[in-house]
Structure 1
C-alpha cells in the first residue's frame, strides 16, 4: 500500500525544524506520523483513538 504523506498546514517551510507529516495507513492500522526532514527514518503508528487523544492533549496544552 502506498501512503500519501501530507505536511501540516502549520509548518513554517524549509527553515522550520519541527515539521511532521501524517499519513493514513492501511484500513484498521491507523495514522502514521513521521519527521518531514527524515522521511526514510521510519514512522510512529497511532490508532485513530490514540491520534485523537494526542490532538486533544495538544489543544488542551495550548489553551493553558
Structure 2
C-alpha cells in the first residue's frame, strides 16, 4: 500500500510541475519584456529538470 501511495504522489507531483510549465511557457510568449520572458523560460527549464529527476532519469 505504501508503494501505491508513493506512485499517486509522484503522479500528482508530475501533474503540478506540468501545469506550472504550461503556464510559464505561455508567459514566455505573451510577456512584452524580454527579461521577464527569459525568467519565465528559466522556470520552464527548471520544471523540465524537475520532471527528469521525478522520473529517476539521470542526466548525461
How high is the TM-score relative to the length of structure 1? 0.32
The answer to which structure has the higher strand fraction is 1
Q: Higher relative contact order by CA 8 Å / sep ≥ 6: 1 or 2?
A: 2
How high is the TM-score relative to the length of structure 2? 0.34
Answer with 1 or 2: which has the greater Rg. 2
The answer to which structure has the higher helix fraction is 2
